[in-house]
């Protein structure tokens, strides 16, 4: 089979290369999946750059964590799946080289990822795709979709109809959060550096958008747009660079879901305001399989489909990474395999 790999100690995208590897075979309790689509996350960019929370690749590794495909082989004892089933891989897995009951760790680092023609996983790390989804659409669920679901519906107080949700940016997690929050009856505000992206977000259901370049004190604009009340939930993907503004935009008793680290540090975190507002700050790291299953049920009932900005062929994977790294997209960038 063909797969893309990053070398040990990689520090740039230019080291991504296409290689030929032996076709994998499923062992006991494992399924062999013919990968049909892979979606990219900001995490994949950080890993390629050697900047993922101080972690680096220690061996040649297949990158990316989010894939959908079809089961083409099953090992002894597999009971949940059959040949031909359309499935997605969960973000965290037991090591395919070890026990199915072993520690759960992410695909793409430290485990081999999914940017390959075939992958082998324990059946417990796989779930059926939503019936109405294409492979490309299903590949957008495992990391970004589950993270947004966790932030909105699971961690802290679940959002409710009439709440205000503030979404920072227009990448995968942010757009998923916009769609899920709108489906839950919340009012969604979105920040972006692009008026064009704001208009696209409004077309998806956002009530208002704030251009943070022309309105750098955007937390004040959030308060103005909510008549001084603030946001009940903030989808915080900027990290230290935007966290204090997110806290400033909170409503009393609101929550900040800390997900990303996209913005450069610029000011001290305002702990006092968080305390005064009786707000809560939650670190979000994707979510367990049970959350993924709940998300799948929700998107099928609500009829939500992911926003896919661009689709690339397998041979153009590096171009897909470059496009994703540029930030010139809304929602997700997908590679069809």
What digits encode the pLDDT tens for the residues 147-171? 999 999 999 999 999 999 999 999 9
- Asked if the model's pLDDT at residue 263 lies above 80, the reply is no
For residue 261, pLDDT beyond 90:
no
Q: Which CATH class is domain 2-140+306-336?
A: alpha beta
Are the C-beta atoms of residues 287 and 259 closer than 8 Å to each other?
A: no
Cβ proximity of 289 and 90 under 8 Å:
yes
Q: How distant, in Å, are the alpha carbons of 89, 138, 152, 292 from that of 261? A: 25, 25, 18, 23
Phi, psi of 315 (to 5 degrees): -70, -15
What CATH number belongs to 143-283? 3.40.50.720
Please write the tens of the pLDDT for every residue from 296-334.
999 999 999 999 999 999 999 999 999 999 999 999 999
Helix (H, G, I), strand (E, B) or coil at 183: helix
Q: Give pLDDT, residue 272.
A: 79
Q: Summarize the confidence of residues 41-45 as an average pLDDT.
A: 95
Contacts of 91 (CB under 8 A, 6+ apart): 65, 66, 106, 107, 142, 143, 146, 286, 287, 292
Domain ranges of the chain: 2-140+306-336, 143-283
Position 291 scores a pLDDT of: 97
Those residues with Cβ within 8 angstroms of residue 86's Cβ, 6 or more apart along the chain or in another chain: 68, 69, 70, 128, 129, 135, 138
* Residue 61 token pair: 């590794």
Common-topology check for domains 2-140+306-336 and 143-283: no
Average pLDDT over residues 26-36: 98
**Nearest partner of 13 among 57, 58, 53, judged by Cα:** 57
Beta bridge partners of 52: 55
């Amino acid at each position: 089979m063909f797969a893309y790999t990053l070398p040990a100690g990689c520090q740039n995208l230019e080291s991504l290369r296409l290689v030929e590897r032996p076709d994998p075979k499923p062992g006991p309790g494992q399924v062999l999946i013919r990968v049909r689509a892979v979606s990219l996350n900001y995490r994949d960019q950080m890993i390629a750059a050697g900047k993922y929370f101080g972690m680096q690749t220690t061996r040649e590794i297949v990158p990316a964590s989010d894939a959908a495909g079809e089961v083409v082989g099953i090992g002894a004892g597999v009971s949940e799946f059959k040949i031909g089933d359309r499935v997605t891989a969960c973000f965290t897995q037991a090591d395919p080289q070890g026990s199915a009951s072993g520690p759960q760790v992410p695909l793409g680092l430290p485990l081999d990822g999914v940017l390959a023609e075939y992958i082998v996983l324990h059946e417990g790390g796989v779930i059926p795709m939503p019936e109405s989804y294409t492979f490309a659409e299903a590949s957008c669920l495992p990391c970004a979709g589950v993270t947004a679901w966790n932030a909105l519906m699971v961690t802290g107080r679940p959002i409710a109809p009439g709440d205000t949700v503030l979404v920072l940016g227009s990448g995968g997690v942010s757009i998923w959060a916009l769609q899920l929050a709108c489906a839950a009856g919340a009012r969604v505000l979105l920040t972006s550096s692009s008026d064009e992206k704001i208009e696209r977000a409004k077309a998806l259901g956002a009530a208002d958008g704030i251009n943070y370049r022309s309105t750098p004190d955007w937390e004040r604009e959030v308060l103005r747009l909510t008549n001084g009340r603030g946001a009940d939930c903030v989808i915080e993907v900027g990290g230290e660079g935007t966290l204090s503004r997110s806290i400033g935009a909170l409503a009393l008793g609101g929550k900040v879901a800390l997900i990303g680290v996209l913005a450069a540090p610029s000011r001290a975190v305002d702990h006092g305001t968080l305390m005064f507002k009786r707000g809560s700050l939650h670190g979000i790291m994707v979510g367990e399989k049970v959350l993924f299953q709940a998300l799948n049920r929700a998107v099928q009932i609500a009829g939500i489909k992911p926003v896919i900005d661009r689709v690339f062929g397998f041979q153009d994977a590096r171009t897909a990474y470059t496009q994703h790294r540029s930030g010139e997209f809304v929602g997700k960038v997908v590679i069809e395999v």
